[in-house]
Amino acid sequence: MIKKKPFFIFNPKSYLLRKETLELSKVANDLANKYKDIIDIYVTSPNIYLKELVDCFKYIKVSAQHIDQIELGRGMGRVVPETLKDIGVEATFLNHAEHQQSISDLSRSVKRAKQLGIITIVCADSIDEARSIATFNPDIILCEPTELIGTGKVSDESYINKTNSIIRKANKDVLIMQAAGISSAKDVYRTILMGADGTGCTSGIVKADNPKKMLKDMVESLVKAVKDRN
């Protein structure tokens, strides 16, 4: 399965207008093409840019940032999962700390996405949460303690080791993403060497002096880590 490769997720959240979104996605797409045999690159986007990303960039996996548990029908300003599939979106985040979901809603969202063939990246805020989410059998679990988001502080070694071990034990099919406070290529390397399947970044890239270079450096650091690990 293609999604089982190591991966990097560029998640610009709501930081960027259209022009910067396209420019950085192009960089990501070129890297995704270059390293397509080794890694996957995901780019998330507010819904407003999703269609254009899907149409312009064929090597990245374009990802939504949230879906709602509604069917085609009523609902104003909500995200019907079918509409993502309809335009070619391949993945979605779920339960991000900035868009939390009830456990009932999350359970149904993972199931609905699976039915539609949409890859699920589910955020877990603690060890207990990661263990619980693993039972839903999502494609990727992102372990990121809320209190570290946007701080540039990485999770400490013991937290990473512990969540890695607990998720592997609970569900060996799920990919593990560790991404708290990633702010340099070195952080990326270290995280992969510690056993994560993937990592990613928001503010470390969009607030960098040279976002394109930082994105490139991080992805290349991931590729190097994957090679060194094997």
Alpha carbons 121 and 123: distance in angstroms, whole number: 7
- Which of 3, 59, 97, 195 touches a copy of itself by CB under 8 A? 97
Q: Which helix (H) or strand (E) holds 199?
A: strand 198-201
- Establish if 42 lies at the interface with a copy of itself (CB under 8 A): no
Alpha carbons 67 and 77: distance in angstroms, whole number: 11
Both structure tokens of 88: 């070619």
- Give min distance, CB of 31 to a copy of itself, in A: 23
Q: Is the Cβ of residue 74 or residue 227 nearer to a copy of itself in the bound state?
A: 74
- Establish if 103 lies at the interface with a copy of itself (CB under 8 A): yes
Report helix, strand or coil for 201.
Answer: strand
Report helix, strand or coil for 174.
Answer: coil
Q: Is the Cβ of residue 199 or residue 202 nearer to a copy of itself in the bound state?
A: 202
Type of residue found at 83? T
The candidate with the shortest Cα–Cα distance to 195, out of 160, 145, 223, 148, is: 160
Window 45-84: contact mask with a copy of itself (x via CB under 8 A): -xxxxxxx-----------xxxx--x-xxxxxxxxx-xxx
Both structure tokens of 214: 């930082």
Phi and psi of 124, rounded to 5°? -125, 135
Window 172-201: contact mask with a copy of itself (x via CB under 8 A): ------------------------------
- Give min distance, CB of 123 to a copy of itself, in A: 9
Binding site for a copy of itself (CB under 8 A): 11, 13-18, 44, 46-52, 64-67, 70, 72-80, 82-84, 86-87, 93, 95-108, 111, 125-126, 128-129, 131-133, 135-136, 146, 149-150, 170, 202
